[in-house]
Homo-oligomer: A and B are copies of this chain.
């Protein structure tokens, strides 16, 4: 089953916004077995839209259109769809009542513009917009489905998840596909692949494994295609057990759960407190944790100790330790942990000291060298890492590695 995504609007064509909608839509469509054949971004222009619709209808069975709705766009998409299908615009009473209801819940009155938004091509089925006032439109003409949705990402996403995807599944009797995603940190794609090669090769033909790498992390996704969701889930579960036996300690979560969320939840569940002592990460770990609502339940604070002086004065790192071993050393990072535990009076602490670059590297300690230590009831554990030559990447990798080391410490896992 093939699909084309058409985005309408000059914002993308002048480079004012990056088209993130299409990637998200493509991912969602892939999950139900629909392949995106082409993505076309066209201007707010009647003739251009007509041409794009015609071209798409020669290529695919599903055409998903975003953007070009609403008063500021002069509702160009809606008008052009009317022209394309040769039908009339009609006032949709129930759509209007819905908008009225949304407005009255905000204590606002409906304007003539909103009334206009309830006008739709007569041959379409209206889709509810739970996050806005412009309705979606579903056309099923000559075996091809066309869907028009708003361009605002969260309006489009709500409409896709709640209506368009289930309707497409139903309309095209797509096969049942089930997915399960495992997230790992700190192991490269090729090393991971070598550890699970035999298992991967033995997967049955209707199950596929995908590697989705990102900075310092790899997502592994098992997809199984068949007819019964329950049976597929069972089969995936059996494979997941085998996968956990092979690389379980590197899997920090499933699906879209981030590493900081794993720490966040553990701290809340165990009623413990946490702090950080950050040199080269400069507050990034604290910032990642405190972005999560409810972080104040366990996160006490952080000492960002960029200078030698702050390391000594606040964290109690000894002058001679810094002198003899340097700021980026096992000795210093361990003293940072001791100091941070005392200073912040938390159950656990994470300390990081490294050379983010681009300057400051030496032959013995090149840019990208980072020492990380964890402290808590089980003593202090320290480890040396060697990342890249890129400053931003080093900060990201050090922050993620520190969170993963803490996770292993909390779960009493060996490295």
Chain A contacts to B: CB under 8 angstroms: 12-20, 22-28, 30, 35-43, 48, 52, 55, 212, 276, 278, 280-287, 289-291, 293-296, 299-307, 309-310, 314, 343-345, 356-360, 391-392, 395
A362 → chain B closest CB, angstroms: 15
Instruction: Give the complex CA separation of A13 and B37 in angstroms.
Output: 7
With A13-B36, A23-B17, A48-B37: A301-B305 Cβ-Cβ less than 8 Å: yes
- B residues less than 8 Å from A287 (CB atoms): 281-284, 286-287, 395
Instruction: Give the complex CA separation of A344 and B27 in angstroms.
Output: 48
With A15-B27, A30-B14, A304-B301: A39-B40 Cβ-Cβ less than 8 Å: yes
Nearest first, the 4 closest Cβ-Cβ pairs linking A and B are A282-B290, A283-B283, A15-B26, A283-B286
A222 → chain B closest CB, angstroms: 16
- B residues less than 8 Å from A28 (CB atoms): 15
Instruction: Give the complex CA separation of A17 and B213 in angstroms.
Output: 11
Identify which of B27, B37, B300 contacts A309 (C-beta below 8 A). B300
**Most chain B CB neighbours (cut-off 10 Å) among A212, A286, A289, A357:** A286
What is the oligomeric copy number? 2
Instruction: Give the complex CA separation of A38 and B309 in angstroms.
Output: 57
Closest to A18 in B: B23
Instruction: Give the complex CA separation of A20 and B20 in angstroms.
Output: 9
> Are A301 and B303 interface neighbours, CB within 8 A?
yes
A175 → chain B closest CB, angstroms: 17
Instruction: Give the complex CA separation of A357 and B286 in angstroms.
Output: 17
Identify which of B23, B294, B307 contacts A15 (C-beta below 8 A). B23
Instruction: Give the complex CA separation of A284 and B295 in angstroms.
Output: 14
**Most chain B CB neighbours (cut-off 10 Å) among A12, A22, A39, A305:** A39
- B residues less than 8 Å from A25 (CB atoms): 15
Instruction: Give the complex CA separation of A287 and B396 in angstroms.
Output: 11
Closest to A58 in B: B51
Q: List 19 A-B contacts (CB under 8 A).
A: A13-B37, A13-B38, A14-B26, A15-B28, A16-B212, A18-B19, A38-B40, A38-B42, A40-B41, A282-B290, A282-B302, A283-B287, A284-B287, A295-B306, A299-B306, A299-B307, A300-B309, A301-B304, A304-B304
Identify which of B13, B48, B282, B304 contacts A26 (C-beta below 8 A). B13
> Are A12 and B23 interface neighbours, CB within 8 A?
yes
Identify which of B15, B27, B358 contacts A24 (C-beta below 8 A). B15
Instruction: Give the complex CA separation of A293 and B357 in angstroms.
Output: 7
> Are A301 and B310 interface neighbours, CB within 8 A?
yes
